[in-house]
Structure 1
Amino acid sequence: MRIPQYPLQLMTKVYKDIFPIVHRTLNKWREQAENIPDPELRKQALSSIDEKTFHCEGGSIFSIIASPFQKDCIEFIVAYQTISDYLDNLCDRSHSLDPNDFRMLHYSMSDALTVGAETKNYYQCREEQQDGGYLANLVKECQNKLATLKHYHLIKPHLLELNQYYCDLQVHKHVIQEERVPRLENWFKSYKDRLPKMEWYEFSACTGSTIGIFCLVAYAFQDQLTSEIAKQIKGSYFPYIQGLHILLDYLIDQEEDRKEGDLNFCSYFSNERQMLNRLEHFVKMADKQLKGIPHERFHRLINRGLLGVYLSDEKVTSQKKVSKLARKLIWSSGGTSLFFYLNGRAYRTVQKIGFS
């Protein structure tokens, strides 16, 4: 198995071997989404696929580690990320603002990571009910892929831990507006003593990523995974790489979230200087946490790739302050980040003119 160690080598493999499988797999789920009986559920399912394809594209880069089981790994990642994006749409645009509804919906994500778990009526706390089996089928797809893993038992506790963080976040941040911050602050207090020094909104960002789960699953396709390596992988991605991932996501969405009235963790930094300093700190600590991990250079590429991919988004150029901060962050993070930034700009241009 050859794991890319250089940016051009990585992106060549991504475009040639990974993205075509991602798009074929997403097309399969789009066909199912088009047949969802309930119009609102159908609308949100299709929207989550059409508008958030890049989540599945980015997550599927971890499938390189799973070679020669890359296709199986991609199919797991696409199914799990599609659940995440679909539920995010349902919660963001929900009329109920009911934490019980959000909790019930997100049981699908823990069931997806639990081989043998029975699927439930995840919609039982909301009016919209009929999805034609769409969400249950996504859950079963994840379970079926995990059931083939020789080392599933080694990663299961880490998967469920990261998933619990993620699901708790989704419940707390989608309730009525005046309850969101108090709930998130209290939640943070229960973990504060076990974490490096950070603020509640930074911890929330660390919990909002799925990439630690994807990395663990990819390694579980390998024969040589041990419990020590599984623990090391989880510790390398949580909290800092996952936190960097989501802080960048929120950074570019500030204007959009302001208009929609959605919670945005980057808005809680006192000023742009503090935000830049903390983002640079997350980059530095993410690098530090990666020391000694298997395929360390590959994971460093992922870390730098996050910067390039997010900061090359067209949302950045439309926000003057964000654009200025993005340039500083790219230049302070070295040539690899600049490569991914330029690559991201080029890829989005190609998508716009219809060659992708």
Structure 2
Amino acid sequence: MRNVYRHVFPQVHKELNGWISMAQKIPNEELRKQALASIEGKTFHCEGGSIYSMLAGRRWKDAVKFIVAYQTISDYLDNLCDRSTSLDPQDFRMLHQSMTDALTPGNPVHDYYQYREERNDGGYLKSLVITCQKVLEGLPDYSIVHPYVNQLGDLYNDLQVHKHVVEEERIPRLQTWFSEQKTAKGLKWYEFSACTGSTLGIFCLVSYTLGGTMNERLAKTVAESYFPFLQGLHILLDYYIDQQEDEEEGDLNFCSYYESEREMRKRFVYFVEETKSRTKTLPDVHFHQMIQEGLVGMYLADRKVSRLENAKVFVRELLNASGRKAKFFHFQTKVYHKLKPGKSL
């Protein structure tokens, strides 16, 4: 964590400052507004993802460059779709083609805005895509990892399309999509949807590849360790703390589909236990366990949690299930929030 605070986070902010400068010059007012808002409101996503750069060894700065650019695409498109002037699935699909292209060096960049009115971003989205491609191109082992990151990326893109269409179509589309999946055994449709909404598996796979340690066995082990449970835990925690906010704004929240708070608590503990079990098969096992414990500790320390019903019971049970380090991260994050007024995940 010393390395993260001294070196990684400053590098993240250096990269983000470059994207902020470019976003400020976006000609279209709506695209400029959403690009800047996505960075301002979701810097935490880039900071958290950048921890994976520690797996990249000497190429950790390249890992940070990729993670910041890819996560910035994700956050920007999430803003565009959440607060969209369009409800067209074809538009959402085309926007998210940028994330597929970002993972595939050699893919030509496309006119990602071709199905919407707001189109002139001054090359902002294409620049993000090309930055990701440049980090990945020429990596000798990227051919091994590409099928896995592409699969995770495709699932993420599908989720974003299905959950942003007109309200009455969202749940039927998500349920139909879920019924077609072979990797969804033992999950509810809303849990599977949450599992597809994380970028952590991609960051882990790319960082290991940059570090020169990638092989077929490692790629398969990372993919199976991160999806569905660690990624699901990540996004379910995100939805958990946003419950009240999403209810007020009328946004889709997967936690609202649990039959009771007790059932939700039980399923979260199940996700923690499955994550612990699966990450034991990975190299750098303590690092991956730190990720799981950090997710639980930091998310549950968010100020928004105090406004939720039965939050104290939920937090206590999940921290106990997660382990001692989760409690450490929980305490440290609460201290951080006190020192940084107004900060929230």
Secondary structure of 2:118's counterpart equals coil
Give the Å deviation of 1:13. Answer: 1.7
Aligned pairs, number = 343
TM-score of the superposition, structure 1-length normalised? Answer: 0.94
Unaligned runs of 5+ in 2: none
* 1:218 is the counterpart of 2:207: yes
Once residues 38 and 125 of structure 2 are traced to their aligned partners in structure 1, the CA distance between those partners, rounded to angstroms, is 13
Alignment counterpart, residue 75 of structure 1, candidates 53, 65, 75: 65
Letter in 2 for 1:145: V
Q: Give the CA deviation at 1:148.
A: 4.0
Question: How many angstroms does 1:317 deviate by?
Answer: 1.5
Matched, 1:278 2:267: yes
For normalisation by structure 2, the TM-score amounts to 0.97
- Indicate conservation of the 8 Å contact 2:56/2:212, yes or no: no
C-alpha displacement of 1:134: 0.1
- Tell me the CA shift for residue 292 of structure 1: 2.1
Specify the alignment match of 2:98 in structure 1.
108
Deviation at 1:333, TM superposition (A): 2.2
Deviates more, 1:133-142 or 1:226-235: 226-235
1:234 Cα offset (Å): 0.7
- The answer on 1:227 being equivalent to 2:185 is no
Aligned mates of 2:183, 2:321 — CA distance in 1: 30
Q: Which of 293, 300, 324 is residue 311 of structure 1 equivalent to?
A: 300
Aligned partner of 2:168: which letter?
E
The answer to whether the 8 A contact 1:236-1:286 is kept is: yes
Letter in 2 for 1:174: H
For structure 1, the 5+ residue unaligned runs are 1-10
- Once residues 176 and 323 of structure 1 are traced to their aligned partners in structure 2, the CA distance between those partners, rounded to angstroms, is 35
- Residue equivalent to 1:129: 119
Q: Give RMSD over aligned pairs.
A: 1.3
Aligned partner of 1:254 in structure 2 is 243
Change (3 A) 1:353 1:109: closer
The answer to whether 1:298 aligns with 2:287 is yes
Identity of aligned residues (%): 53
Deviations 1:209-251 (A, max 9, x none): 0000000000001223211111111111000000000000000
* Alignment match of 1:178 (pick from 150, 156, 168): 168
1:14 pairs with 2:4: yes
1:131-182 per-position Cα deviation (integer Å, ceiling 9, x unaligned): 0000000000000001142211111000100000000000000011111000
Q: Which moved more, 1:234-243 or 1:142-151?
A: 142-151
| Residue 14 of structure 2 is aligned to residue 24 of structure 1 | yes
Residue 242 of structure 1, aligned match among 207, 231, 234: 231
CA distance in 1 between partners of 2:334 and 2:13 (Å): 20
Q: Partners of 2:272 and 2:321 in 1: how far apart?
A: 10
8 Å CA contact retained: 1:252, 1:322: no
Name the amino acid aligned to 1:232. Answer: T
Of residues 9, 25, 32, the one that matches 1:42 is 32
Structure 1 runs of 4+ aligned residues shifted over 6 Å read none
CA contact (8 A) 2:178 2:184 kept: no
Q: Which moved more, 1:67-76 or 1:148-157?
A: 148-157
Report the Cα distance in structure 2 between the residues aligned to 1:353 and 1:339, rounded to whole angstroms: 21
State the alpha-carbon separation in 1 of the partners of residues 58 and 211 from structure 2: 9
Give the partner amino acid of 2:266. Answer: N
Provide the residue aligned with 2:83 in structure 1. 93
In the alignment, is residue 349 of structure 1 matched against residue 332 of structure 2? no
The residue aligned with 2:49 is 59
